[in-house]
Structure 1
Amino acid sequence: MLDGGFDFLNLLRIVIDIALVWYVLYKLIMLIRGTKAIQLLKGIVVVLAVWLLSIAFDLHTIQYITNQAIDWGFVVIIILFQPELRRALEQLGRGNMFSRGSKSEEEILEQKIEAIVQSSTYMAKRRIGALISIERETGIGDYAETGIPINGNLTHQLLTNIFTPNTPLHDGAVIIKDEEIMAAACYLPLSESPFISKELGTRHRAAMGISEVTDAITIVVSEETGNISCTKNGELKRELDREGLRKYLRDNLPLSLRAPESKTRNQRGKENG
């Protein structure tokens, strides 16, 4: 009886140990998702795969090279992942890394959408040109690095102020990730598609360009007409009003933690309402 209880406690400790390690790894992966660090992580996996193959096929030279890479790998990882490790330690110190906010993800998404809608319609009425790119599954951190880091909470006041004419950051794109404005004055790739209307300017070509290489949603406010347009996956939707923009964002900005049946139920409720 005692041995059985001892074995159970040992098993429980092992399960808790493994669960904690996986949880920490999951949090770290979520922390570096959408950054260059995820590409470096893939490179490390490739090196480990080559090392295992060199052992299996007895390739001495390749095994020696990969052994050297692995021996010095810990130091290299600290150097390459320094920004991400610093961010993780800062979040751990603030207690944000393992804690969950009091607001539900649906409430956070609604606040995000409302901030973007308020800012976009405000600028549209006053013919203030704007280019806003919202990250979804594909990371667009490389484009954020072409601009000026903001790393500020998304509010309609901040978003509008960035695009105010004759200010240092108004020319270029704003990139939004989660509930944060990552950067402003960013350069986006211009589309080379011959099917884009000649009446559309550089902002629309940039919005189409980013939509052709990523799954980001990009909002364009035209300073000539005051019209609001959106791009996604190489498609352009033009002349959206306040409600049209709000619906477009609700339909296309996913809730990663929301169950599919919950989303369907909410959509049905809105349609019936």
Structure 2
Amino acid sequence: MSVADKSEKKSGGLSETVSVIVQALLLALVIRTFLFQPFSIPSGSMRPTLLEGDYLFVTKWSYGFSRYSLPFGPDLFSGRIWGSDPARGDVVVFKFPPNPSLDYIKRVIGLPGDKVQMKDGQLFINGTAVPREKVGEIDNPDITEVNRPVDVYRETLPNGVSYDTLDLTPNSIGDNTREFVVPEGHFFMMGDNRDNSTDSRFNVGYVPAENLVGKANIIFFSIADGASPLEIWKWPSEMRASRLFNFVR
């Protein structure tokens, strides 16, 4: 084999490697943009449903696509393509309206036109109290973040969606609010950890449909105590095996 043949073979091999890498990156971009996006839970606002250290997939097609479906949210178009509204009770990842560089995750409580209010810790939608039943206590700091028993209440929304909420503090600042009227094209979001959630009751405000990223779908990994998934040596003691592959409800 001549030197020219060796050079051509080396060049061809490098070209093929670059081509495979580019194709893999494009495939990953398509999957992340149109199908699934991994997301890690950054705070305790959705406890007990979601915990810090949960890693989940968000389905991007659930509500159609907006500029925020693309990495870095380039201002290429406005509104949503193939858009559909989330259902009441969906757990949704969205861009924080005051600063769209930040991702938030909350539960959809109010739809466009709804009137939402909290009275003495009870949720009211359109003037009707949402059924709220105490189902027990949780005495586990990994779930509640506090070293004492915490009351757990199950809410059932008008469409039948039920979920558990934590009541960390009676008569907290979020237990009594004004009546919020959700504008058209917007949604009212709340965290399940009602006394420790920055949501539409506070500075999140009403969330525009354009800011929706996708629906929280399934937990594929979970690790406690602030450990990183890369710290494999901590898996035996810190991995929450019972949470793996649980659907988010």
Q: Same fold (TM over 0.5)?
A: no
Q: Of the two structures, which has the highest relative contact order with CA contacts closer than 8 Å and spacing of 6 or more?
A: 2
Higher strand content, 1 or 2: 2
**Structure richer in helix, relative to its length:** 1
Q: Which has the larger radius of gyration?
A: 1
TM-score with structure 2 length normalisation?
0.28
